[in-house]
Chain A
């Protein structure tokens, strides 16, 4: 299989404009004759559905939640980047592009990232026009802040609810088109399969989550906007319904899955309190601007933090990285938290936490100033933990947050299955081995508002799309596939619950395919995943029946897919014998513990083709070599 990125030729700054000029257009009359299926209604899906419908396509939209507005994007807090350069601090499209490429540790495609930076400004215009209430200065003009270690202030924000406000904007744009009769919207329906006819994506199968009914939907193209797969770790900051099922089922129908091992782990989350823990809560990393991270120097020191004298506190980030200190990038902060807790210096009842201490900031600036900056975060922390962070340091620990990997797509955001487009967190496209803060929202909306609506037109204009109907064999086969999987799950009637297996899988992944990875650990992980997967299929107990609302059945189908994905993630991490971005291989680090990237051998996208599961996952890897024409590759250093 040859993976052709279809990057247009020419200077970086001109590629997208030239491409738009070359793209074939469909007349409005023609668009009306075509149906596009959009799965997912997060930032990517809602913006794509609205924009495609405005262009004249008939759109069918699907989501799991009871309303489009509840997609996981709603939970994003910090902000969205754009290269507006309003603060006049030297930002530009080039700089946003460069920061994103560098942040991704040179494992993403230059042309895609440049386009992302280019359309970023239009996203802000669009959102403002929709009435998204971004923060403003006294002048009434838009305010910016700096985020995630960037040297310029380019992040637009809406209090701590940027994702919510952007999603409501996109959702409302979408509902406007529902009203106009151009979008047929379906909630509480889960996509369980992709239907490929004559080598092209021509439809999907969904399960109605209320009636349990299997349904067939035909279309001329399918846009998958189903989010990331962080929940393979069971505990993550993702919403409970976030899943890999739609993407994985497309993978099983031929779409290659790229860089599955790239997972971002966020350093400032509220630690686990007990076995019942169902998800982890992120706290904005802006806290690291004023909080100091430390652990007791003494292993197993059980004293209260207040009684540990200054010289017995290990401010490990400040000591190891004097120039960046507590503001080192996410992956460096996360990795070091793991190192100190693995060494037994962790704090709290579980020992799986480090302190984030505001004592000095409060002394310096006063309680009021700290409250003004972080009041809502402190309240949230107190609400969840029952502890007062003004008096005692917060306890924090890293948690899985974002997945850079996803279905492979070309410059047009089309997968290797013609007609299957992938947008938002579900694709692998823009963040390389590490995503910068405030750039996922940017990417989701760039894909949905400004890329897919045009590239899809080119595909449809250029492709012979004979009419298909849902009586085609391929639909019947897909339905019966999904049905028999559900029947199988319901009939195992074993004695452990789905949640039990998901949690156990998550532990394997966290321990061995998480923050730091070793050859030995991953080989063990692969064995463990296979064994647990076999046990799952022998011994899981899924309650109830298929013909009514049954949340645990939904989970069972998703966990079944996670079991396969998990093995692929470990295989991918194993073959990548270098450390890059969020992927740290213990064998490939310098003596001081810095990540060692290997551009000679690993400057490629690993795109995996599914062959089957037979006790083990059968898969082959295809490489898309990454070429850097416009930037010079440099090693990161935060010393």
Chain B
């Protein structure tokens, strides 16, 4: 293993020395960080700047933040809080906005899957929370995305009780339909679409779930009620409308297509009309 050591420089006057001597390797980089710090939902936040020397290209972006935190802790400062769990791009916990882009620069990549080889020595990186009125900040880069759960709660399911399901192969699904449903079902619920949208709309997230279930025969009976309830909840949570900016699709780490939104609208209008 190559031991890696890192120095932290806080923006405020104090310059903190590395605890142990630094071992440089060819891939070491210096990265300047501007990170949003906010104590809690009520307080006002601000950017703090830090400098990390000896960032290794093989580190993930979140591991770089871990290293920063280790140094902050050693120096008696509060570490930067950010959400993560799987670090494999599937749980949807991570959701940083990096240099103005949700999940950072790499197309179809959640920030936990981003590696430092995508940066160069001397780069400045600005890190902010996924901001939206419906996603209040909890601390630093951690936000409250429970509004998403309430949208699912409003109708994002097929109402089948445990034990009452028919034999699985009694419901054949054409492969093409199954694949389309799958493409929508892969949404990881990260909220990047909301953070990227100028209107803070949750349409891509909601559309993806509606699209998933509507493509399948199992989803048909509750189709109309589902779209009406989920859209109503989306509005109630304070998410904005969709004006077709398509910023959401551009940042979505799993490539949910904005066709989901068009389909949702179609279903919504039809349901309104029929009801």
Contact = CB atoms under 8 A, between A and B. Distances in A.
Interface of A: 47, 50-51, 54, 65-70, 72, 74-75, 84, 86, 122, 124-131, 133-142, 158-159, 161, 164-165, 168, 171-173, 175-176, 178-179, 185, 187, 210, 239-241, 272-279, 281, 349-350, 383-386, 449-450, 453, 495, 497, 499-500, 541, 543-544, 548-552
Nearest to A172: B157
Interface stretch (B87-95, B237-245, B258-266): B87-95
B162 A131 contact: no
B87 A549 contact: no
Nearest to B70: A497
Given A50-B162, A173-B157, A274-B1, A128 B218 contact: yes
Nearest to B80: A551
A122 B57 CA distance: 47
B70 to A, nearest CB: 6
B93 A70 contact: yes
B67 A276 contact: yes
B237 to A, nearest CB: 14
Contacts of B81: 549-551
Contact of A450 (B70, B83, B145, B163): B163
Nearest to A278: B63
B85 interface: yes
Contacts of B158: 129-131, 172
Contacts of A158: 182
A455 to B, nearest CB: 14
Given A133-B178, A137-B175, A175-B152, A275 B4 contact: yes
22 contacts: A66-B144, A67-B148, A70-B92, A70-B189, A74-B90, A125-B166, A130-B158, A130-B160, A133-B212, A135-B178, A165-B185, A171-B152, A176-B157, A239-B86, A239-B91, A274-B59, A276-B56, A276-B64, A279-B87, A384-B60, A541-B74, A544-B79
Nearest to B216: A131
Contacts of A175: 149, 152-153, 156-157
Contacts of A349: 2
A10 to B, nearest CB: 23
Contact of B163 (A65, A122, A495, A551): A122
B74 A72 contact: no
Interface of B: 1-4, 39-40, 56-60, 62-64, 66-67, 69-70, 72-74, 76-79, 81, 83-88, 90-93, 109, 113, 115, 117, 138-139, 142, 144-146, 148-149, 152-169, 171-175, 178-179, 181-182, 185-186, 188-189, 212-213, 216, 218-219
A546 to B, nearest CB: 13
Nearest to B60: A278
B73 A131 contact: no
Contact of B139 (A179, A279, A548): A548
B79 A543 contact: yes
Given A69-B189, A129-B166, A241 B218 contact: no
B90 A161 contact: yes
B157 A133 contact: no
B221 to A, nearest CB: 12
Contact of B145 (A67, A86, A161): A67
Contacts of A497: 70, 73-74
Contacts of A84: 168-169
B88 A142 contact: no
B179 to A, nearest CB: 8
The 6 A-B pairs at the shortest CB distance, nearest first, are namely: A140-B172, A129-B165, A172-B157, A51-B162, A125-B165, A128-B168
A140 B157 contact: no
A50 B152 CA distance: 14
A131 B157 CA distance: 8
A210 B41 CA distance: 10
Nearest to B117: A386
Given A135-B178, A543-B79, 16 more contacts: A66-B146, A69-B92, A69-B189, A74-B90, A125-B165, A126-B163, A133-B173, A133-B216, A164-B188, A175-B149, A175-B152, A383-B109, A453-B162, A499-B70, A544-B79, A548-B39
Given A278-B87, A548-B40, A549-B139, A449 B162 contact: yes
Nearest to B87: A279
Nearest to A551: B81
B21 to A, nearest CB: 15
A118 to B, nearest CB: 14
A481 B164 CA distance: 44
Contact of A128 (B60, B171, B186): B171
Contacts of B167: 125
A278 B182 contact: no
A450 B168 contact: no
Contacts of B67: 276
Given A137-B175, A172-B157, A385-B58, A67 B146 contact: yes
Contact of B149 (A51, A54, A67, A495): A67
Contact of A131 (B86, B153, B181): B181
A140 B139 CA distance: 48
Contact of B115 (A67, A179, A275, A383): A383
A54 B88 CA distance: 33
Given A65-B91, A350-B1, A277 B63 contact: yes
A450 B164 CA distance: 12
B185 A133 contact: yes
Given A165-B185, A278-B62, A131 B56 contact: no
Nearest to A238: B86
A239 B93 CA distance: 11
A276 B59 contact: yes
Nearest to B114: A383
Contacts of B189: 67, 69-70
Given A140-B175, A240-B84, A384 B160 contact: no
Contacts of A548: 39-40, 139
Contact of A273 (B58, B70, B186): B58
Given A133-B181, A161-B90, A276-B67, A126 B154 contact: no
A548 B90 CA distance: 27
A425 to B, nearest CB: 15
B254 to A, nearest CB: 9
A383 B155 CA distance: 36
Contacts of B84: 240
B22 to A, nearest CB: 13
A211 to B, nearest CB: 9
A50 B168 CA distance: 20
A394 to B, nearest CB: 15
B165 A141 contact: no
B20 to A, nearest CB: 12
B178 to A, nearest CB: 5
A197 to B, nearest CB: 30
B89 to A, nearest CB: 8
B85 A72 contact: yes
Contacts of B148: 67
A274 B146 contact: no
Contacts of A240: 84-87
Nearest to A139: B172
Nearest to A183: B153
Contacts of B58: 273-274, 385-386
A130 B157 contact: yes
Contacts of B171: 128-129
B78 A66 contact: no
A68 B178 CA distance: 25
Nearest to B40: A548
B91 A138 contact: no
Contacts of B165: 122, 125-126, 128-130
A537 B11 CA distance: 33
A50 B159 CA distance: 11
